[in-house]
Amino acid sequence: MRRRFLLHLLAMLPLVFLTGCDETPTGRAQLALVPHNMMAQMGEDAFEQLLNSQPISRNAAVNNLVQCVVQKVVTAAKVSYPALDFPQAWEVVVFEEHSPNAFALPGGRIGVHSGLLDVAETPAQLAAVIGHEVSHVLADHGNERLTQQLGIKAVLMLVGVMGEGDMGHQQLMQALGIGAQLGISLPFSRTHEEEADLMGLAIMARAGFDPQQSVVLWRNMAASGGGQPPEFLSTHPAHASRIKALQQGLEEATATYQTVAPADCSG
């Protein structure tokens, strides 16, 4: 598996300048140079590694709930952002992992930790998380971060690939946003997190999930503990700042929510 990652990395270097500056769905200028088919292949490889190393939940009720929420969120995302390219299908897996987390990968792979259901107490709260993670993929955040890494650390990455150690492999996993699942700590930047929050809010509202529940979710996250560092020491927004930003987007999202049928994932 590691060999495939390294081969992708080596093949990528002469190709990264074939594409240029673009914009995210929110209109932010973005430099994301890695070809999308290569990002999708890396997402597939990363997901395969997780499937081979992480236990999978067989809880039928949990799996049905997650599948229902994902289906509605993805459908709404296509309506919200019709100009974007979407995967033909999304593979969704619930992993037996106590940490309240989820992730989405280029190419259409979504992983949900079973522990998330202890914090996301309603389908709408789960939709807030799924919408956020899908937004990272739609906004090409992994590509943008990998482009930044290649621009600054290309030589170091090559040294890591050709020498001893796992630097090339680890940086690819970090850029895809799943480093935390493998014990590699590198969260998305504040800019990426804030952008995914606002996009996810719009998507969950379009899907028929009450956007007010996004605020409740993050209050639950804050109450669930975990020594989150002060905001100035972290690339993630502090819970209070994240909630404030979401509240500022609630008026528009609520107006959208009131125009659609409420989602039903009650089983």
Q: Cβ atoms within 10 A of the Cβ of 2, count?
A: 13
Coil, helix or strand for 198?
Answer: helix
Q: Which of 136, 135, 155 is nearest to 145 (CA)?
A: 136
Rounded Cα distance, 122 and 215, in Å: 12
Q: Which two structure tokens, joined as six digits, stand for 163? A: 């020498």
133 is catalytic: yes
Catalytic residue from among 23, 97, 133, 231: 133
Rounded Cα distance, 53 and 127, in Å: 26
Rounded Cα distance, 78 and 131, in Å: 12
Q: Which residue numbers are catalytic?
A: 133
